[in-house]
Amino acid sequence: MWIYRNSSTGQVVELPARDVRLDHLDVWLLIAEPAPEDLPEQVIELAPEPRPERPSENDNKAAWVAYAVARSMPEGDAKSLSKAALIEEFGRDNEED
């Protein structure tokens, strides 16, 4: 149980889950929380993000900038490069990360 106490009134509440609203109010203090072994184990499986399709060399620079950003290049860096530089960096087929 998550236990909160109101510092103005002394009221104590027990909740089965952490309350984001009470966490953001200055008068409510979290005074007890469950031990880690008491919390339910959450398993979240994330599907891998699909690899973006490589633009053709005839596509405009904006398409290459979007591709570079999708491949983890900062947008400002991608925009500062020429289309030819982007193709040189990201245009190889079967490129390994």
The string of DSSP letters for the chain reads: -EEEEETTT--EEEESS--HHHHT-TTEEEEE---GGGSPP---PPPPPPPPPPPPTTS-HHHHHHHHHHTT--HHHHHHS-HHHHHHHH--TT---
Q: Are 59 and 31 in contact (CB under 8 A)?
A: no
Minimum mean pLDDT among 27-31, 38-42, 75-79, 84-88: which range?
38-42
- The whole-number pLDDT of residue 40 equals 62
Could you read off the pLDDT of 3-20 as tens digits, one per residue? 999 999 999 999 988 899
Could you read off the pLDDT of 36-58 as tens digits, one per residue? 666 566 666 677 777 778 999 99
Give percent above pLDDT 90 in the chain: 52
Burial class (CB in 10 A: 0-12, 13-18, 19+), 64: buried
